A and B are shown apart, each in its own frame.
Chain A
Amino acid sequence: MKNPLMHIWMRFAASRVGRSIFRVGLPRSNLGRAQAMVSSFFLHLHPAKVHRRSLKFTTTLGLGLISLYLFLILIFTGVLLMFFYVPHPDQAYANMKDLEFVVSAGSLLRNMHRWAAHLMVLAVFLHMLRVFYTGAYKTPREFNWVVGVTLLLLTLGLSFTGYLLPWDQLAFWAITVGTNIAGYAPLMGERIQFILLGGNSVDSASLLRFYVLHVMILPGIMLFLLAIHLWRVRKDGGLARPDEEAVTVSEMEESSLPANKSYGLMGLARGCTPSVGINPEDEVLAWPNLLFREMLLFMATLIVVLLMAVFWNAPLEEIANPIHPPNPAKAPWYFLGLQELVAYSALFGGVIVPSLLLVALVALPYIDRSPKGVGAWFSGERKVAITLFTFCVLAAVILTVIGTYFRGPNWDWIWPWLEQAHSGH
């Protein structure tokens, strides 16, 4: 072998120790490539073969995988950050300064964590848009859509709980605003706010429970639902394809098969798994085609996060001061659309409209039962659904942009290119 490292590795893999660890070696035949997926603990979520269409970048833009990779980066950087952080108001802010000035690679770690968090909220949102616009929530993928919406809410929850941890003015007042919005819910609002904060205002109790939620409870639930979400992708027949509907093996009848054959028919596979109705010419082996693409996408995601982390610092304002609110006090950017709505009406804008939208989102696959337009971007057979959804998405984006750039002190309208967005501290 030309490569000496490869030679040493192959010697080890062929040894008794190596063979006891790696039951199936690196694939050298198509059988081996199929086996590599099925026999590996880490890889066996993959099918042995995938549809050719699944490999094309434009099918999904890789957004689901990007969201997953960002989550993994967040877990890795988050655990390392935990070594240097104490969730108490007397120490949290100083710990931020320690990360910036003392801890080796502390700045890089914190920046990576912050930017990956923002990117993940964006990626999850875009992934939802992709799934909608390709009609990939329709039968049999309805429940996976519901799991996905829950994952979106968990992502927002993780980002929100993490937002408080630096305990600076930005954090403190963003969470004050966010929990106040939660408090507007009728009947349960005050109780919900009290449970969130562990009291009547943002204090050491809030910091502690936000920390526990952020590092343990929400990631735990997220990992659990992620496992189900990915499992369902497999079990529902892989990525949605336009020709899925055309191949309905259930329509075949046993009597239509030729009677002059010497072999018997055992049964007809129905449903989505194992892979049913895929033309063998459209299938390719997952090793290396799918797996290597996934690995490259991870590296590309890591590059984006590293680029942002090396060149832009995560913000840190003055230490939290409960008696000095900034004007305006703004929620995190993904809740600014909500805050804008609240500015019009606390109950209607802050509670009723978002709740109705959320219910509509969850119930979407059960309301839109038309089987048309699955697997194709912006299918012409789904004009009404696409129009309605786009309207809602645009409204949400516009409200968020207004809340971010066009609202100044006292939530008055400002033109951002003319005025300062924040009053003095």
Chain B
Amino acid sequence: MNTVEKYYPWFAALGVTISILVLLGYFKDENREWKYWQREYIQQETEAATTEQELERAMRIPVEIRQILPIGLDRIDRCTSCHIAVEDPLYDGKEQPLAYHPNHSLHPVEKFGCTVCHRGQGLATEREAAHGNVKHWDQPMLVMEHIEASCAKCHAAAGIPGASRLVRGARLFEEQGCIG
């Protein structure tokens, strides 16, 4: 009655089950999308390196969460955790998420972040959640043809260069008497 050996199979079975569940949880956590894309970027940079210095720089790029806290905009944008090549002109025209942002110098990402124009869920680091196409996030990403809608947040709609649609829309608004 007082032997401990009869309990061993039970401890083994439950212990193994706990271990499996903990490992499952751990791998679910470790297997993040952004890590894949950052490793992909590092791989491409390593392959494209032509000098020793470039190769060393590429190999020392860390795989980590990247986030921007634009001053005065009260938000945290983690988009560059996947869109890591957003500031690199060599990635112009490449496939998302490793693509350069056109005219990046106009609104540098370290100053403005991303969601102030593109909307979406900057706090997220998974694709669908970050693009805001999930329940309980009521600001999904703007489709590209509507992107000029964000310009009017900061600029007076009348005269924004490069936002011809918005300017035309603002003029129509006034001409047709939609205001008031």
Where the two chains meet, the residues of A that have a C-beta atom closer than 8 Å to any C-beta of B are 30, 33, 94, 97-98, 100-102, 104-108, 168-169, 284-285, 287-289, 292, 295-296, 299-300, 302-303, 306-307, 309-310, 316-318, 425
Contact = CB atoms under 8 A, between A and B. Distances in A.
A101 B11 contact: no
B138 interface: yes
Contact of A289 (B2, B24, B29): B2
A108 B26 CA distance: 8
Considering residues B11, B21, B76, B129, which has the most beta carbons from chain A within 10 angstroms of its beta carbon? B21
Contacts of B71: none
B25 A105 contact: yes
B123 A94 contact: yes
A187 B129 CA distance: 48
B179 to A, nearest CB: 26
A27 to B, nearest CB: 8
A105 B17 contact: no
A389 to B, nearest CB: 35
A102 B15 CA distance: 29
B76 A94 contact: yes
A296 B2 contact: no
Main secondary structure of the interface of A (DSSP, over half): helix
B34 to A, nearest CB: 9
Contacts of B138: 318, 425
A288 B137 contact: no
Nearest to A98: B123
Nearest to A107: B29
B72 to A, nearest CB: 15
A306 B21 contact: yes
B126 A101 contact: yes
B18 A284 contact: no
A169 B136 CA distance: 9
A318 B25 contact: no
B125 interface: yes
Given A101-B78, A102-B78, 7 more contacts: A288-B2, A299-B14, A303-B21, A306-B25, A310-B25, A316-B136, A425-B138
Contacts of A307: 21
Contacts of A101: 78, 123-126, 129
Considering residues B18, B123, B129, which has the most beta carbons from chain A within 10 angstroms of its beta carbon? B123
Interface in B2-30: 2-4, 7, 10-11, 14-15, 17-18, 21-22, 24-26, 28-29
